[in-house]
Structure 1
Amino acid sequence: MTVERSGPGEPVVIIGAGPVGVMAALLLARRGVRTVVLERHQDVYPLPRAVATDDEVRRILQAAGVGEEFATIARPSNGLRLLDARHRVRAEIRRTGHGHHGYPQTSMFDQPELERLLRDALARHPECELRGGVEVTGVGPDTAAPVRVTYRDDEGEHQLWADAVLGCDGANSLTRDAVGAAWEDLRFEERWNVIDVRTKADVRCWEGVDQICDPRRPATFMRVGEDRYRWEFRLGDGDAPLRELIAPWLPLSYDGDFEVVRETQYTFRARTADRWRSGRVFLLGDAAHLTPPFIGQGLCAGLRDAHNLTWKLARVLRQGADERLLDTYESERKPHARHMIRLAVAMGWAMTGGQDGAAALRRGLLATACRIPGLTAMAGRDLSPPLTAGPLVRRGPRRGLAGSHCPQPWVTVDGRRTRLDDVLGDSFALLTAAEPWPSLNALAQGLGIRPIPVGDLGDEGTLAAWLRAGRADAVLLRPDRVVMDVVPAGGLDFTGTAAWASVLHTTPRLLPPEPTAHPLRSATR
C-alpha cells in the first residue's frame, strides 16, 4: 500500500469530480488551497442529467472564473407554464431578463458540457490534481484532521492524509457513512421516466418549462439546447409508447429525425442528511440532500454548498480562523436546503396532483392562486431565501439586508465596464453610502480590505438605491456576497462586530475602536 503525506499546507481531498466537487476545488484554488480530487470515472459522464440553473448559481460560476465560458453554452429560459390535461395554459410564472445577481433568472444547459468546462478550468490550476479511475474505499475512521482517505486504482491500494475531506460523492455517498449521517425523509417519493431527445423537428415550445398538471399523467417538458429537448412523465400503469406521449409537442404525423439521447427511470425523493459534518469531513450536494426537480434546484443547491463552505475552510486552513467558523456551514446551508426541498415538494404536489386524497383540493387551490393579480409575478422572483441569523449573519430587530445577497450590477471603474464581483475580488467587501468614517476604515484595515463608497462605482445608482431600501448606511459583505452585518441608517457602526470577529480570526486586530460619530452627521447636529 502506498501512503502519501504532503508537505506544509496539506491538501483538501475531494471525493467526486462532478460539478459540485470540481467547483469546490476551483473555489479553494482561488484562495491558494491545494486539493486532490478523486473520481471513479476517467472522463466526464456523457449523458445529460441537470439542465437548469438560476442567476445566483451563474454568479457562483463567475466566482470560480468560468462565468463567461458558461455563457457560451447556456440558453436563457422564459420561466414556467402550468398547463392542464388538455395543454391549455392556466398560469405563467415568468423569469425573464436579468435577476438580482446580474444574470438571466433561469438558464438551460447540458451537464456534460458544463462538466468539461469545469474540468478544463481545473487543469489550469496547479493547486488542483484530479485522479480519475479510482475507487475510494474508506474515510477515517477518525474524522479529526489529519483525515485518512483510502482508495484503490490499477496500481493497488493508496492512503492520503488530508486536513479536510469534502464528500461530493452523490446519493450513495460513502462519506455520509463516515460522518455517521442518516437520511431524514421529507415525505416525497415518485417514479418518473426522463427522456432526452435530439431532433430538428419544429417542436412546439415557448422557450421555457411546461408543467402538465394532469393527475392521470403529470409531465414536464423543456427545451434544453438548439436541438435538445427533455420530457419527464410520472410512471403509471400501462404507460403509452414514447411517440404517443410526446405527440402533443410534435408536428402532426412527424416521422423525421428523432434521436433518443437518454431514457431512464428516476425515483424523485426529498431527503436531507441529519448531519453534514464530523470533524474535518463534510457532505456537499447529493451526499447531503436530495430534492425533486420541480423548481430546478438540485445541482444549484450543491453549488451553493461549495460556495458557502470553501471560503470558510480556506480561512481556517490558511489564516488561522477559529474552528467554529466551520460550524456555520451546516447551520446556514441545511435550513436553506430544507426550505428549497419543501418548496419543490409543494410545487410538485400542487402541479402534479400528488397521489393522496387531498390532490383535488391542491389543484383547486393552485388554480385559484394563479388568478390572484401579481402572485405569479411574485413567484417568478428569486426563490432563494436569506440565510437565517447566526454568527456570520447579524440580524437586528428588523430583518433588513442581513443574510441576503448583495445585488450585482454592472459598474464602471477606471473607465472599464465590468461586473461588481470582479471589482470586489474574492475577499470581504465593505460598501458605504458615503465616504467611510474612522471606525469603518479601522474595520476594513483589520479585514485587509478597503471601504468602497457606492457612489464611486458608476452603477447608475443601483447599490445606493438598494442600501436606501434596506435602511442601511453601510454593509459588510462576506466572500460569498452575503450581507454579514449592517450599519443602519442613522447608526454609528456595525452592531455585532465582536461576535463575528472572534470567529473569523484569532487576533484582536479585527475589532475596531469605539464608535465615533458619522462625520456627515456630526456637522449637522
Structure 2
Amino acid sequence: MSGSTSANEFQVVVVGFGPSGAVAASLLGAEGIRSLAVDRDRAVYDKPRAIALDHEILRLFDNLGVAEQLRPYIAPFPASEHFGARGQLIRRIDMVSEPYPLGYTPTMVFTQPPVEEILRAHARSYPSVEVELGTELRRIEQAPDGVTLELRGDRGTRNLTADYVIACDGASSSVRRQLGIGFDDLVFDEPWLVVDLRVNVSGLAKLPRTAAQFCDPSRPTTYIVGPGTHRRFEIMLLPGEDPRAMEQPEQVWRLLARWLTPDDATLWRAASYRFHALVASKWREGRVFLAGDAAHQQPPFIGQGMCQGVRDVANLVWKLARVLRGDSGDALLDTYQDERSAHVRELTTRIKAIGHVICERDPEAAAARDIRILAEGGGEPRTITRQEIVPPLSCGLRADAPHATNGTLFPQPWVLTAGGRQLLDSACGAGWRLVLRGDSALAQSRDVAARAAEMGLRRIAIARADRDAGAGVLREESGVVTDWFARHGCAAAIVRPDHYVYGVAADEADLAGVLSGLAARLQ
C-alpha cells in the first residue's frame, strides 16, 4: 500500500508521547510520513524515571540531529562495582574501552525530564507530524484498509482514521488491553524502592565515586551516579514492608542513613515499584503495533528499559516507511515482532540472571554466590562489559548464510574529511548502506558500485588513515571498521537503516548472493 493513495487522515498515529513515542514521531517525520502523536498527559513528568542510555540510542539521536541539544543532560555511566555479602568487591560491570565502537561513550546516564522535553520539541518540528496533548484514546477498531481511533481531548470526542498505529502508551497500555493482548511472564517479581536525590557538596564527599551494587542479603541496594549532583538509590523492600509507607521521607532517610543524612541532599523522588520481567505475547495485531513499555518490562539492573523502547521504534519505522511507499510488501512488518520479541526476551533473561544474583536474600547462598563469582575471575574480581550483555538480533531480516556478524551493530568510526573529523553517519548519512574495506577489490569494482546504486544502497569504502587507498575512499581515524573487517574475515557489510548488519561478504561472488537475497526479502 502506498501512502499517496491512502484515504485515511493519517498514515501513522502514535499513541503515547513519552520517550519512545516522541522518537517514533521524529523518525516518522524524518521519513515525511503524515503522522499524529497523542498523549493524555499535557506535560512531561517532572521527575526522573529512566536514567540510562547507551551508544546505540545516542547514535540514533545523532541521526535525528538532536544529540547536541541533549549533551548537557548526559554524562558517562561509570563502572558498577559489585560488593558481596561481607562488603568485598566481587566483580565490576563496565563499558568497553576506546576506541569506542560506535564513536560515543558506550553507556551513559541522563536526566529524563529535560531530555524528554527536547525529544518532544524535536518531533513537533517536522511539518508532517501533528501532536495533540491532553488527548485520550477511547476506542480502537480495525478494518482491512485502516484503523479507526476514537479520541477525546480539547477538540471534543471525534473519530479519525490511520493506515497504522504504534502504541507507545506505557505498561498499562489501553491499546494492548483493547486488543486483548496479554503478557508472557518471564518470572521475576521483586519489590523495590527507587530514590532520586540532588546531593550537595557534603553529601557527595560521603558517597562512592563510582556506581555500586551492594549484594547484601540483609538489604540488596543499587547506587547510581547520575549527571551533575543527581544520585539514585534502588533499595530492595523486605517481606512485610508496606511499599507506600516506605516511600515516606522518614523511612527513606532511615534506609539511606548508612550513606547520607537529610542535611546532605534534597529528596527528589521516592517511588516503590515491583520489578517485573514481562513480554507481550503479540507485538502486532493487524495494523497496530506495540512498542516500549506497552510491549515489555524488564528489571533495571543494567539500565536498558528506555533503550529497549527506542530500539523498538527504530526497528519498526523504517519498515513502515518502505511499506507505505510501496517499496516492500506487508510481510516485512512481521519481522518487527520476530526481531524485537526475541531480542527483548534474550536480554531480559540475561538481566534476570544478574537480578537473581543481586537479590539473593539467603546468607549462606549469598556467601556461596560470592565464592562462585570470584572463582569465575580466577580468584580476583573480573570485569564484564554492559555491551557484551546486550545480544544481537538472532532472527528476522538477516542474510540466510550464517555469519557471526549477522544481526550485530555495525561500528561507526571517526573519519577524516575535507570538513574535518566527523562520525561516519554525519559524513555519509544512514539508510541502507554497503560498506566496503577500502583496500579490497570490492571497493574498486564498478559492477559492485552499479549493483549498490540499483538497489538504493549508499556505497561507502573505508581504509585506515595511514593508507593511501585512492579516490572515493574514506580514511578512518582509529581502525574501528578495518579491524572489524579483518577480525570477521570479510570485505563488505550490508547495513540496515537501524545500523544492524544484514549480511557480509568476502568477495564479489559472495556479495552478489547476499544482495540477491536481500532484494528478494525486501520486495
TM-score (norm 1): 0.88
Q: Who is 1:122 aligned against?
A: 123
Matches within 5 A, 1:122-271: 122-140=123-141, 142=142, 144-200=144-200, 201-203=202-204, 204-236=206-238, 237=240, 241-250=251-260, 254=261, 256=263, 258-271=265-278
Find out whether 1:385 has 2:395 as its counterpart. no
Q: Paired residue for 1:320, among 321, 327, 335?
A: 327
Q: Who is 2:406 aligned against?
A: 402
Relative to 1, partners in 2 of residues 1:443 and 1:371: Cα closer, same or farther, differing over 3 Å? same
2:481 & 2:46 partners in 1: Cα distance?
Answer: 42
Q: For the Cα contact (< 8 Å) 1:75–1:107, is it kept in 2?
A: yes
Aligned-pair CA distance for 1:264 = 1.1
Q: For the Cα contact (< 8 Å) 1:45–1:112, is it kept in 2?
A: yes
Letter in 1 for 2:237: L
Find out whether 1:458 has 2:475 as its counterpart. yes
Q: For the Cα contact (< 8 Å) 1:486–1:495, is it kept in 2?
A: no
Relative to 1, partners in 2 of residues 1:301 and 1:207: Cα closer, same or farther, differing over 3 Å? farther
Aligned-pair CA distance for 1:300 = 0.7
Q: For the Cα contact (< 8 Å) 1:322–1:503, is it kept in 2?
A: no
Q: Who is 1:470 aligned against?
A: 488
2:9 & 2:492 partners in 1: Cα distance?
Answer: 36
Relative to 1, partners in 2 of residues 1:290 and 1:213: Cα closer, same or farther, differing over 3 Å? same
1:234 & 1:335 partners in 2: Cα distance?
Answer: 29
2:378 & 2:143 partners in 1: Cα distance?
Answer: 53
Q: For the Cα contact (< 8 Å) 1:212–1:219, is it kept in 2?
A: yes
Letter in 2 for 1:332: E
Deviation track 1:210-229 (CA, whole Å, cap 9, x = no partner) reads: 11101121011112121211
Q: Paired residue for 2:317, among 296, 310, 315?
A: 310
Matches within 5 A, 1:14-53: 14-53=14-53
2:498 & 2:199 partners in 1: Cα distance?
Answer: 40
Q: Who is 2:113 aligned against?
A: 112
Aligned-pair CA distance for 1:354 = 5.6
Relative to 1, partners in 2 of residues 1:80 and 1:257: Cα closer, same or farther, differing over 3 Å? closer
Relative to 1, partners in 2 of residues 1:102 and 1:145: Cα closer, same or farther, differing over 3 Å? farther
Q: Who is 1:273 aligned against?
A: 280
The one of the two structures with greater contact order (alpha-carbon pairs below 8 A, sep at least 6) is 2
Letter in 2 for 1:387: L
Q: For the Cα contact (< 8 Å) 1:348–1:354, is it kept in 2?
A: no
- Superposition CA RMSD, Å: 2.5
Q: Paired residue for 2:346, among 334, 339, 342?
A: 339
Aligned-pair CA distance for 1:90 = 2.5
Q: For the Cα contact (< 8 Å) 1:324–1:503, is it kept in 2?
A: no
Letter in 2 for 1:166: I
Relative to 1, partners in 2 of residues 1:176 and 1:436: Cα closer, same or farther, differing over 3 Å? farther
Q: For the Cα contact (< 8 Å) 2:87–2:216, is it kept in 1?
A: no
Aligned-pair CA distance for 1:367 = 3.8
Q: Who is 2:466 aligned against?
A: none
Three-state SS of the structure 2 residue aligned to 1:472 is coil
Aligned-pair CA distance for 1:84 = 2.9
Q: For the Cα contact (< 8 Å) 1:78–1:206, is it kept in 2?
A: no
Three-state SS of the structure 1 residue aligned to 2:356 is helix
1:180 & 1:189 partners in 2: Cα distance?
Answer: 23
Three-state SS of the structure 1 residue aligned to 2:389 is coil
Q: Who is 1:413 aligned against?
A: 417
Letter in 1 for 2:324: L
Three-state SS of the structure 1 residue aligned to 2:258 is helix
Q: Paired residue for 1:447, among 429, 450, 455?
A: 455
Q: Who is 1:522 aligned against?
A: none
Q: For the Cα contact (< 8 Å) 2:40–2:134, is it kept in 1?
A: yes
Relative to 1, partners in 2 of residues 1:104 and 1:132: Cα closer, same or farther, differing over 3 Å? same
Letter in 2 for 1:479: P
TM-score (norm 2): 0.88
1:272 & 1:357 partners in 2: Cα distance?
Answer: 33
2:75 & 2:454 partners in 1: Cα distance?
Answer: 42
Relative to 1, partners in 2 of residues 1:384 and 1:443: Cα closer, same or farther, differing over 3 Å? farther
Find out whether 1:376 has 2:382 as its counterpart. yes
Three-state SS of the structure 2 residue aligned to 1:377 is strand
The unaligned stretches of length 5 or more in structure 2 are: 464-472
Q: For the Cα contact (< 8 Å) 1:36–1:130, is it kept in 2?
A: yes
Aligned-pair CA distance for 1:490 = 7.6
Relative to 1, partners in 2 of residues 1:233 and 1:255: Cα closer, same or farther, differing over 3 Å? closer
Q: Who is 2:467 aligned against?
A: none
Relative to 1, partners in 2 of residues 1:432 and 1:111: Cα closer, same or farther, differing over 3 Å? same
Deviation track 1:15-54 (CA, whole Å, cap 9, x = no partner) reads: 0000000001111111111210010111111111000111
1:497 & 1:102 partners in 2: Cα distance?
Answer: 27
Q: Who is 1:512 aligned against?
A: none
Q: For the Cα contact (< 8 Å) 1:432–1:454, is it kept in 2?
A: yes
2:8 & 2:145 partners in 1: Cα distance?
Answer: 14
Three-state SS of the structure 2 residue aligned to 1:305 is helix
Q: For the Cα contact (< 8 Å) 1:95–1:105, is it kept in 2?
A: yes
Aligned-pair CA distance for 1:63 = 2.2
Q: For the Cα contact (< 8 Å) 1:55–1:103, is it kept in 2?
A: yes
Letter in 2 for 1:299: M
Three-state SS of the structure 1 residue aligned to 2:82 is strand
1:34 & 1:364 partners in 2: Cα distance?
Answer: 58
1:315 & 1:255 partners in 2: Cα distance?
Answer: 55
Aligned residue pairs, count: 494
Relative to 1, partners in 2 of residues 1:432 and 1:154: Cα closer, same or farther, differing over 3 Å? closer
2:435 & 2:257 partners in 1: Cα distance?
Answer: 54
Matches within 5 A, 1:71-86: 71-85=71-85
Q: For the Cα contact (< 8 Å) 2:8–2:146, is it kept in 1?
A: no
2:209 & 2:64 partners in 1: Cα distance?
Answer: 28
1:363 & 1:89 partners in 2: Cα distance?
Answer: 9
The unaligned stretches of length 5 or more in structure 1 are: 506-525
More divergent stretch after superposition (227-236 vs 16-25): 227-236
Identity %: 34
More divergent stretch after superposition (149-158 vs 188-197): 149-158
Matches within 5 A, 1:445-524: 445-455=453-463, 456-460=473-477, 461-488=479-506, 491-505=509-523
